[in-house]
Amino acid sequence: MRAVIQRVLRSKVSVDGQVIGEIGKGYNVLLGVCNEDTREDADKLIRKLIGLRICEDENGKTNLSIQDTDGELLIISQFTLYADCRKGRRPSFTGAGSPEHAKALYEYVIGQCTPQVKKVAHGEFGAEMQVEIINDGPFTIVLDTADLA
């Protein structure tokens, strides 16, 4: 499982010109799933995401988590995080999880984050989405469960 986490002042996602998810200060999370990913991988990623201390304290130091700051999450499915660009110029996406598997884990992540964070908004799995992000910093972290302890 892979996630690109961007600390944002605000972010929103639209489908067909309609805003379907919107947050204020918090994290915009692009989430990719592969077929080998499990709920255990998702739990590992969620623990890291929720506990990650990348929010600023009163001294401007990154000492606080999203829970510490009552931050919000916007979680968007992003199969292109599994793009393989090693050969040629057109990426291969065969490493991405099947739609059924990826959707189930994507929804699981949303469901597990919801009771832990002030607000959790999300995109629409499989839809053509437009994402607007106002970065804070900018501050961007990439997590891969294969690399997490």
Which residues make Cβ contacts (< 8 Å) with residue 114, sequence separation at least 6?
A: 120
Residues 6+ apart with CB under 8 A from 103: 77, 125, 126
Q: What is the DSSP letter of 148?
A: -
97-136 per-position pLDDT tens digit: 999 999 999 999 999 999 999 999 999 999 999 999 999 9
- For the annotated catalytic residues, the residue numbers are 78-80
Rounded CA separation 62/40 (Å):
28
Model confidence at 149, in pLDDT bands (50, 70, 90)? confident
User: What tens digit of pLDDT does each residue of 52-110 get?
Assistant: 999 999 999 999 999 999 999 999 999 999 999 999 999 999 999 999 999 999 999 99
The mean per-residue pLDDT over the stretch 17-21 comes to 97
Q: Return left, alpha or beta for 16; rule: phi > 0 is left, psi -120 to 50 is alpha, else beta.
A: left
Band of residue 140 on the pLDDT scale cut at 50, 70, 90: very high
Tell me what pLDDT residue 138 has: 92
Cα separations in angstroms, 125 against 54, 91, 117, 142: 27, 21, 21, 20
The contacts of residue 64 (CB under 8 Å, 6+ apart) are: 53, 55, 56, 57
